[in-house]
Chains A and B, each alone.
Chain A
Amino acid sequence: MIVPRKTTGKLVHPHATRTAFFGQYWASIMVRVTFTSNIQRHVQCQTVDIVGDTVREVLNSVFEKNEQARGYVLDDRGAVRKHMIIFINGQPIKDRTLLSDEVSAGDEIYVMQALSGG
């Protein structure tokens, strides 16, 4: 399930917003995914709150709704492009091939471009 981020008005803490809408169950598994602004030139990637236990699960859900974006972040093999980087709560993921890093309630995933490709 994908919940677009609130884009107007005062931002409410994600936990509070999600809890209000979906109850305790959804709040316990929602992860926020944010994409680098640079990717927006090529394909629109909205910040979303989404369900998933691993980075792969979360991104698969994102890309099911936005298939064009998949190829901008992942390569032919589904691994992270060599000049892209994914953070969980500020830390780079460890498994760039299978994206098996686990995520949990309230985690924030940032999909960024690595300076190595600049």
Chain B
Amino acid sequence: MSDRMFVATRKGMFTLSRSGKGACRWSISGTAFLSDPIYIVLHDARDDSVYAALGHGHFGSKLHRSSDGGVTWQEIAAPAYPEKPEDVEDVLCPMRGTPIPWNLELIWSLAAGGADEPGVLWCGTVPGGLFRSEDHGQSWSLIRSLWDHPSRKNWFGGGLDYPGMHSICVDPRDSQRVTVGISCGGVWVTGDGGNSWSCQSKGMWAAYMPPERKDDVDIQDPHLVVQCGSSPDAFWSQHHNGVFRSADGCQSWTEVKNVQPSTFGFAVAVHPHDANTAWLVPAIKDEQRIPVDAQVVVSRTRDGGETFDVLREGLPQDHAYDITFRHALDVDACGEEVAFGSTTGSLWWSGDQGDHWHTISNHLPPIYGVWFAK
């Protein structure tokens, strides 16, 4: 059972703890970086440290680390792109023809390395670079094997000006096996700690591309990729134009078509011990991005996507325009508690896999991410 929850918002970070009172057993117990945009929070269970990625509008992206559960913070190094060698040609955005910069635009994902590699962190960024630290974030190295991959010329931004890496999954069986998701660059897998990569989005398709290119693996827009902890070959992805799952370590993906009330969304969470159980927060597809019928619901499958339960008890069902971003839905380590936040600052929690929802707050800043401590 998780004892803490971390919420990243446009105006600061919130730590929630169990209050032990009432039907909703969570309450805000701490704040940090109030007024600053927080995009990612990582709780590293290996040493109980907490990392926060800030994205200052003027001053750039920064990383902070706390060793006391978020009470005090120390700024640590943010990943920095190396200078582009003179003999390396610019990679041009295929949509705009402009060079993809060798500059950190945004920290968009953080993941702890395996239990066998203390101090190792992975960091995904906009404009698409993956970084690795071996010293708890004191220094970072760009993973050149992926950044220099010829396929990168096909990547482009989805909703942002440049490609962005939002998902990093470290295989619990083998910490050298890492899967990342890129909008829009597909799903990439390394089996050797980042020395070599293969694009493994086969089965995904892109409605936003011309028909002859819709199946290209390296232009796919998986909004989020998550991995089942107990069945690490099982992955789920909420994609730009549908929901996909893989049962073979991303070698192939199968479309899940029965999501109700729609297949569009950003977030997905998979039960840590049951790869057939997953949660989604659907919305009207991409040009509108509001809840279907202005009702906030969560869709849950317990049979691998064959059928879905539309869960709405305790959620607003009248003129509700909350959207849940990709990092703003999480399930706890037991698979019983689920929480999600919205663009309008609402935060909901369920202690029974989503059957009943309880409001923690309707008044937070726009929520970018929700994570249980695990």
Contacts and interface: CB of A to CB of B under 8 A. Distances in A.
A113 B78 CA distance: 20
B59 A76 contact: no
Interface string B57-84: 1111010000000000001001011010
B147 interface: no
B59 A72 contact: yes
A71 B102 CA distance: 15
A39 interface: yes
B58 A84 contact: yes
Contacts of B81: 76-77
Given A84-B58, A118-B57, A68 B103 contact: no
Chain A, interface size category, equals 10 to 19
A72 B58 CA distance: 8
B78 A71 contact: yes
Contacts of A38: 58
Interface string A51-73: 00000000000000000100111
Given A68-B75, A71-B78, A77 B58 contact: no
Given A76-B104, A77-B103, A39 B75 contact: no
A81 B75 contact: no
A75 B103 contact: yes
A117 B57 contact: yes
B196 to A, nearest CB: 25
A13 interface: no
B56 interface: yes
B78 to A, nearest CB: 7
Interface string B72-108: 0001001011010000000000000000011110000
Nearest to A39: B59
B58 A76 contact: no
A117 B58 CA distance: 5
Contacts, number: 42
A77 B80 CA distance: 9
Contacts of B56: 42, 72
B102 A77 contact: yes
A114 interface: yes
Contacts of B57: 83, 117-118
B83 A71 contact: no
A39 B36 CA distance: 12
B217 to A, nearest CB: 29
Nearest to B77: A71
A114 B102 contact: no
Nearest to B75: A68
A54 to B, nearest CB: 20
B83 A42 contact: no
Contacts of A83: 57-58
A113 B58 contact: yes
Interface string A100-118: 0000000000000110011
B83 A72 contact: no
Nearest to A114: B58
B315 to A, nearest CB: 34
A75 B56 CA distance: 12
Nearest to B83: A77
Contacts of B60: 71-72, 75, 81
Contacts of B75: 68
20 contacts: A38-B58, A42-B59, A42-B62, A71-B59, A71-B62, A71-B78, A72-B56, A72-B59, A75-B104, A76-B80, A76-B103, A76-B104, A77-B83, A77-B101, A81-B58, A83-B58, A84-B58, A113-B58, A118-B57, A118-B58
Given A38-B58, A68-B75, A71-B60, 6 more contacts: A42-B59, A76-B102, A77-B102, A83-B58, A84-B59, A118-B58
Interface of B: 56-60, 62, 75, 78, 80-81, 83, 101-104
Nearest first, the 4 A-B pairs at minimum CB distance are A113-B58, A72-B59, A117-B57, A117-B58
